[in-house]
Amino acid sequence: MAMMRRKLVAGNWKMNGLQKDRQFLSDLATLHSETPNADVLLCPPATLLTSMAATRPGWLMLGGQDCAMTQSGAHTGDISAEMLADLGCSHVIVGHSERRADHGETDAVVRAKAQAAIQAGLIPIICVGETLEQRESGLAEAVVVSQLSAGVPECEAGQVVIAYEPVWAIGTGRTASPEDAQAMHAALRAAWSGADSAALRILYGGSMNPGNADALLSQSDVDGGLIGGASLKPDQFASIIRTLR
């Protein structure tokens, strides 16, 4: 049933990017005529969203990297899902392993953020993934499936995107093998509680680059990629997207 799902390539710039890096959008300007079959999303830091929203090509979607659990109010420094939607964002990453580690975000927090995103009309990209220790102890699938059931609010498959990001593969240059990624994606799809699991988009993230993207993205349950480091370089990001031609 993979045919129902359009591939999605999403760039996560993390805490990188200054005003001068808006140039990135011009570097990608003609890309979409080559790859009309893939959706492309960029999640720059919040400080670049306003200017990028004004200059982005229509085919390039924008997303936040995090949102608050609550809609508004006394939460200094936080950005609400509604604020992101108001800027023209369509997606927001929630539960990235860096936020789980740096800010102690639990599955309950991730679920509340995903719920806030859906309420604001955004699609949350909900990240799950095991540590190296958990993988080596044979717990990878149990951990990831439990993050899915605890971190995803009740919703339809089309209202969210899941990103399988093994923690040991993020920013390390190590990736899951295409076979291991496929197996985990199939397990996540099987664990989806609704009858609409064939519509659920599940991205792989963790050191995806132009050299390994094709093998990963051609797996039947891998519906795209969440790209960190390689999304900062327009030629590398474009080259990953071009594998979907």
Answer yes or no whether residue 11 interacts with ligand PEP by CB under 6 A: no
Q: Decide if 200 contacts 156 (C-beta within 8 A).
A: no
- Scanning 31-39, 99-107, 132-140, 220-228 for contacts with ligand PEP by CB under 6 A, the matching segment is 220-228
Rounded to whole angstroms, how far apart are CA atoms 6 and 10? Answer: 13
Mask: binding to ligand PEP, 89-128, rule CB under 6 A, as x and -?
----------------------------------------
Cβ 71 to ligand PEP, closest distance in Å?
Answer: 26
Pick from 8, 11, 12, 100: which binds ligand PEP (CB under 6 A)? 12
Q: Which residue is nearest to ligand PEP (CB)?
A: 228
Q: Mention every residue, 6+ apart, whose C-beta is less than 8 A from residue 30.
A: none
Q: Does 25 participate in binding ligand PEP (rule CB under 6 A)?
A: no
# of chain residues touching ligand PEP (CB under 6 A): 13
Which of 26, 77, 19, 73 lies closest to 51 in space, CA to CA? Answer: 19
Which of 82, 91, 96, 185 does the annotation list as catalytic?
Answer: 96
One-letter amino acid at 112 equals: A
Any catalytic annotation for residue 130?
Answer: no
- Specify the 3-state DSSP secondary structure of 196: coil
Rounded least distance, CB 17 to ligand PEP, Å: 14
Q: Judged by CB, which is closer to ligand PEP: 61, or 226?
A: 226
Residues 154-173: x where in contact with ligand PEP by CB under 6 A, - otherwise, as a string: -----------x----xx--
> DSSP states of 37-73 as a string?
TEEEEEE--HHHHHHHHHH--TTEEEEES---SSSSS
- Binding of residue 52 to ligand PEP (CB under 6 A): no
Cα-based torsion angle of the residue sequence 187, 65, 206, 154 in order, rounded to the nearest 10 degrees: 0
C-alpha 84/C-alpha 91 separation (Å) is 8
Rounded to the nearest whole angstrom, what is the least distance from the CB of residue 12 to ligand PEP in the complex? 4
185 is catalytic: no
Q: How far apart are CA 122 and CA 179, in angstroms?
A: 31
Q: What is the dihedral of CA 141, 146, 147, 151, to 10 degrees?
A: 150
Only one of the segments 43-51, 132-140, 143-151, 223-231 lies at the binding site for ligand PEP (rule: CB under 6 A); that segment is 223-231
Closer residue to ligand PEP in complex, CB, 12/134: 12
Of the candidates 44, 46, 42, the residue with the CA atom closest to the CA atom of residue 61:
42
Distance (Å, rounded) from C-alpha 115 to C-alpha 81? Answer: 10
Does residue 229 interact with ligand PEP by CB under 6 A? Answer: yes
Which residues in this chain contact ligand PEP in the complex, by CB under 6 A? Answer: 12, 165, 170-171, 205-208, 226-230
**Catalytic residue list:** 96, 165
